[in-house]
Amino acid sequence: MHRETSPPILTVKDLTVAFGPMERPARAVAGLNLTLQPGEILGIAGESGSGKSTLCNAIIRTLPRSARVGGEVRYDGRQLLALSEREMRGLRGSEISMVLQNPMTSLDPLFTIGNQVDEVLRERRRQGQSNDQVTAIGLLRRVHLTAPELRLRQYPHQLSGGMRQRVLTAMATAATPRLLIADEPTTALDASIQDEILLLFREIRDRAGTAIIIVTHDLSAIRRLSDRIIVMYAGRLVEEGPTATVFSAPRHPYTRALLDSLPQVEGDTVTLKAIPGQVPNLAELPHGCAFADRCPVAIARCRTEDPTEMQLGLRHRAFCWLADTAS
């Protein structure tokens, strides 16, 4: 792969998203940095409330107006946060696309699938991003939807969740975007369907070289799909590295806790280890490491000083005072 040499498709620098009162802001994303290479699949993991969705919405600029966004989001050299709404609209769907979390509610109940796929196709043609050869039926075939001719005439409520997620994926990739953001694309689906949808994302990457950000709290999904993984906690990045490395040798106690909380099957016994405590209130974060209160190995320094970045190897980093000692 030429990933090391090509310029990144997306660079997020010191991104901060704050809500609430100025004097006591809740930072849903706090000083986050990341880069994404063309054709790379990046997994973002973390509990609910860790800022994963906020990060996605900050990149594609669909945060509510009350959000205060700082920092830089560079897509292909352009600072997205500085673009006008009109310029941003020109990128959405055609260059940067998004697959939403809940396929059950993401389609307009009043219109047929065909109607809605056509609407997206019309927009792409208007922007000169697609031609007449691309048809709704072709798009649905590409995402392996069964009986696409029939589906086009059906209404969303006549389709299963998995089918709808395929339709949404087809719509999101109608114009071969260079960046696809998938916000918990499999969370609302049956376990048996999840794999198929994940395979679909890999297929899109392999076919079109689309860079994909996939957000999930399902670690097993990320493990099989993503090249690289970012673990977030309380709006901060706590660990980042190649998927295999992070899974085999997690260095941040939070990553370890997340991995431990996966069901462990040994013979007939299944053990589940939950992480004690809750994600802290973002408006009242304590000094030091945000995870310190729930951390099994926290030392005094963790409660007084923000952990700094610790380089742990090739593209592997963690924000923990004990990252190079603990194992």
Partner 1 sequence: MTRVAALNASSWWSLRLRWRRRTGRPRLPVLSMALCILLIFAAVAGGAIAPFAPDEPDFTAILAPPFWMEGGSTMHLLGTDQLGRDMLSRLIGGARVSLLTAGAAVLVAGTIGVALGLIAGYLGGLVEAAIMRVVDAFLALPFILMALAFVSALGTGIGNIILVMILTNWARYARLVRSEVVSIKKRDFVLLARVAGVRPMAIALRHVLPNAMTSILVLAVLDIGRAIILESSLSFLGLGIQPPDVSWGLALAEGRTYMSVAWWLTVWPGVAIVLGVMSFNLVGDWLRASFDPRGVL
- Residue by residue, DSSP assigns 255-268 as HHHHHHTSPEEETT
The least distance separating partner 1 from the CB of residue 103, rounded to whole angstroms, comes to 9
Q: Which residues from 37-66 bind partner 1, rule CB under 8 A?
A: 60, 62
Options 7, 90, 276, 277; binder of partner 1; rule CB under 8 A: 90
Cα 215 from Cα 42, distance rounded (Å) = 8
Selected range binding partner 1 among 85-93, 141-149, 258-266, 304-312, rule: CB under 8 A: 85-93
Q: Which of 43, 49, 93, 185 binds partner 1 (CB under 8 A)?
A: 93
164 or 205: CB nearest partner 1: 164
Phi/psi region, residue 204 (left: phi>0; alpha: psi -120 to 50; beta: rest), is: alpha
Binding of partner 1 at residue 154 (CB under 8 A)? no
The least distance separating partner 1 from the CB of residue 295, rounded to whole angstroms, comes to 36
Q: At its nearest, how many Å lie between partner 1 and the CB of residue 229? A: 24
* Residue 108 makes contact with partner 1 by CB under 8 A: yes
Closest CA to 228 of 72, 42, 34: 42
DSSP 8-state symbol, 250:
-
172 binding partner 1? (CB under 8 A)? yes
Instruction: Give the tokens for residue 313.
Output: 């190897």
Instruction: In angstroms, give the least distance from the CB of 141 to partner 1.
Output: 20
Region from 45-53, 83-91, 211-219, 224-232 binding partner 1, contact rule CB under 8 A: 83-91
Q: Which of 13, 92, 217, 303 binds partner 1 (CB under 8 A)?
A: 92
Q: Which residues contact 44 (CB under 8 A, 6 or more apart)?
A: 52, 55, 213, 214, 215, 216, 229, 230, 231, 232
Q: Does 270 bind partner 1 (CB under 8 A)?
A: no
Is residue 185 part of the contact set for partner 1 (CB under 8 A)?
no
Q: Give yes or no for residue 304 binding partner 1 (CB under 8 A).
A: no
Helix (H, G, I), strand (E, B) or coil at 103: coil
Paired residues of 41 in beta bridges: 212
In whole angstroms, give the CA distance from residue 15 to residue 265: 39
91 binds partner 1 (CB under 8 A): yes
Spatial neighbors of 283 by CB under 8 A, at least 6 apart, are 20, 24, 25, 26
- Per CB under 8 A, the segment of 30-38, 42-50, 153-161, 192-200 that binds partner 1 is 153-161
Beta strands in 7-65 (DSSP E): 10-19, 26-36, 41-45
- Contact residue for partner 1 among 72, 76, 118, 119 (CB under 8 A): 119
Binding status of residue 143 toward partner 1 by CB under 8 A: no
For residue 100, state whether it binds partner 1 (rule: CB under 8 A): yes
In the bound state with partner 1, the residue whose beta carbon lies nearer, of 123 and 195, is 123
Mapping DSSP to helix (H, G, I), strand (E, B) and coil, where does residue 310 land? strand
155 binds partner 1 (CB under 8 A): yes
User: Is 105 an interacting residue with respect to partner 1 (CB under 8 A)?
Assistant: yes
84 binds partner 1 (CB under 8 A): no
Cα distances (Å, whole numbers) of residue 120 to 102, 145, 169, 214: 18, 18, 12, 22
| CB-CB contact of 17 with 69 (8 Å) | yes
Q: Which residues lie near partner 1 (CB under 8 A)? A: 60, 62, 89-94, 97-98, 100-102, 105-111, 119-120, 123, 127, 155-157, 168, 171-172
